[in-house]
Amino acid sequence: MLYTRFYIHALLLQEVNALSYDLPRLIPDKDFKVPSACGVSGIMNTSGKRFSGNMIVESMALMRERGNGLGAGYAAYGIYPELKDLYCFHMLYDSDLDKKNAEEYIKDHYEIIESEPIPTRKNPHIKEVHILWRYFLKPKFIPEDMSEEDFVVSTVMFINEKINGAFVMSSGKNMGVFKGVGFPEDIADFYRIDEYKGYIWTAHNRFPTNTVGWWGGAHPFGILDWTVVHNGEISSYGINRRFLEAYGYKCTLMTDTEVVAYLVDLFMRRFGYSPQLTAKILAAPLWKDIDLMPEEERKLYTALRMNYGGALLNGPFAIIVANNNMMMGLNDRIKLRPLVAATKDDFLYIASEESAIRVVCPEPDEVWAPKAGDPVVGVLKSARKTQVVLEGENG
């Protein structure tokens, strides 16, 4: 094992791109927490108009420098309109046996409406190491004390934790996650991203500081229809994980992105908090600012920090969170990672670099760098309760 590691390392030093050709199995980062730096991008059409994945691929390709070919991925919303009421599981399997095991478990709890391989295209830079499969599912039997979503979450937790060699990439309706080891444009080509149309796309380009060979470790990370792409390192991971355990979430992947996904699921879906409020928990205002707030507000923010201190995300990060109805960009409390936002008509763009926006939208109506801890939120027009369109620029 030791020898293998060394061998891989030496090879990587010589030529990163050689990775995809002829390597022995790399170290799966399932078992290690891998700090990584990255590029992120998100594009949303707030009217719900679907557009091709080409746009996000172009935006990501520009930020090639932000990754090192060891991970990239895309989350797409609105891609399965014909089956939009079914839970779509995108799966990674290590072997046929693992697939059989997982399918047995799935069959026990879900009606499998469709089951097919995820369509791929041969790409010289991508070596397919996993079996990629997707299922469209309808829950069969939901325990009385559980909501349907909680049931799906528990299924995902079970598969990821207990069934070796099986991993759920995404588990939402009318959406999916496509990810793997490679540069973003290669991964896009491999997964035939250009053939899908969605109204929200988020993407990620990875620069892990460790060798990784396991595709599940790439971003976006997804649970239900939540996806998270993340540039940064969560120094509070140790306590975030333990905080989540109290609410029944098991962090099995040792990636800090996983805790972000579970935290937004907890606060936004289970507790029903707005994206804005959730952002103020994950990137809480400083005490010195809270102390100056009017009384009601001070009470609220004090209570949030007091009660949800274990959910505070510390360390540098820029994240883009999305679900079927919205997309949110968020920076850490002192803005230690870049994040830029822009709007053009009914499009919202969020990316690590302004250039990644301008390459697909040369003349945006507005471009701004969101302040530390201030969320940029785009909500689908059909899901909006209020007339508030975009928030962030002025706090």
299 binds another protein (CB under 8 A): yes
Q: Does 288 bind another protein (CB under 8 A)?
A: yes
Work out whether 161 is an interface residue with another protein (CB under 8 A).
no
Q: Give the shortest CB-125-to-another protein separation in angstroms.
A: 26
Residues in Cβ contact with 246 at an 8 Å cutoff, skipping those fewer than 6 apart: none
| 287 lies in the site for another protein, by CB under 8 A | yes
- Closer CB to another protein, 62 or 281, in the complex: 281
Q: How far is the CB of 387 from another protein (least distance, A)?
A: 9
- b (16+ CB within 10 A) / e for 308-333: beebbbbbbbbbbbbbbbbbbbbbbb
Residue placing its CB nearer to another protein in the complex, 179 or 305: 305
Which residue is associated with the tokens 């969605």? 198
Binds another protein by CB under 8 A, chosen from 35, 48, 139, 338: 35
User: Is residue 242 near another protein by the rule CB under 8 A?
Assistant: yes
Q: Which of 17, 25, 32, 162 binds another protein (CB under 8 A)?
A: 32
Nearer residue to another protein within complex by CB, 33 or 134: 33
Residue type, 199: Y
Residue span binding another protein (CB under 8 A) among the ranges 9-17, 58-66, 176-184, 240-248: 240-248
Find out whether 189 and 171 touch, Cβ atoms under 8 Å. Answer: no
One residue of 104, 245, 345, 365 binding another protein per CB under 8 A: 245
Active site residue 38: yes
Interface with another protein by CB under 8 A: which range of 34-42, 104-112, 182-190, 319-327?
Answer: 34-42
**Could you say whether residue 265 binds another protein (CB under 8 A)?**
no
Question: Which listed residue (121, 271, 292, 383) binds another protein by CB under 8 A?
Answer: 271
Does residue 239 bind another protein (CB under 8 A)? yes
CB of 33 or CB of 90, closer to another protein: 33
334 binds another protein, rule: CB under 8 A: yes
Residue 54 or 302 with smaller CB distance to another protein: 302
Does 140 sit near another protein (CB under 8 A)? no
Tell whether omega for the bond before 220 is within 30 degrees of 0, i.e. cis.
yes
Pairing between strand 175-180 and 197-198?
A: unpaired
Name which of 175 and 284 has its Cβ closer to another protein. Answer: 284
- Find the shortest distance in angstroms from Cβ 330 to another protein: 16
Please write down the HEC assignment for all residues of the chain: CHHHHHHHHHHHHHCHHHHHCCCCCCCCCCCCCCCEEEEEEEEEECCCCCEECHHHHHHHHHCHHHCCCCCEEEEEECCCHHHCCCEEEEEEECCHHHHHHHHHHHHHHEEEEEEEECCCCCCCCCCCCCEEEEEEEEECCCCCCCCHHHHHHHHHHHHHHHCCCEEEEECCECEEEEEECCCHHHHHHHHCHHHCEECEEEEEEEEECCCCCCHHHCCCEEECCEEEEEEECCCCHHHHHHHHHCCCCCCCCCCHHHHHHHHHHHHHHHCCCCHHHHHHHHCCCCHHHHCCCCHHHHHHHHHHHHHCHHHCCCCCEEEEEECCCEEEEEECCCCCCCCEEEEECCEEEEECCHHHHHCCCCCCCEEECCCCCCCEEEECHHHCCCCCCEECCCC
The residue from 26, 33, 71, 182 that contacts another protein (CB under 8 A) is 33
**CB-nearer residue toward another protein: 194 or 289:** 289
Cβ 373 to another protein shortest distance, Å: 11
* 147 lies in the site for another protein, by CB under 8 A: no
Binding of residue 292 to another protein (CB under 8 A): no
Residues annotated as catalytic are: 38
Residue numbers of the site for another protein (CB under 8 A)? 32-37, 209, 232-233, 235-239, 242, 245-246, 254, 271, 273-274, 277, 284, 286-288, 296-297, 299-300, 302-310, 312, 314-316, 333-334, 336, 385-386, 388
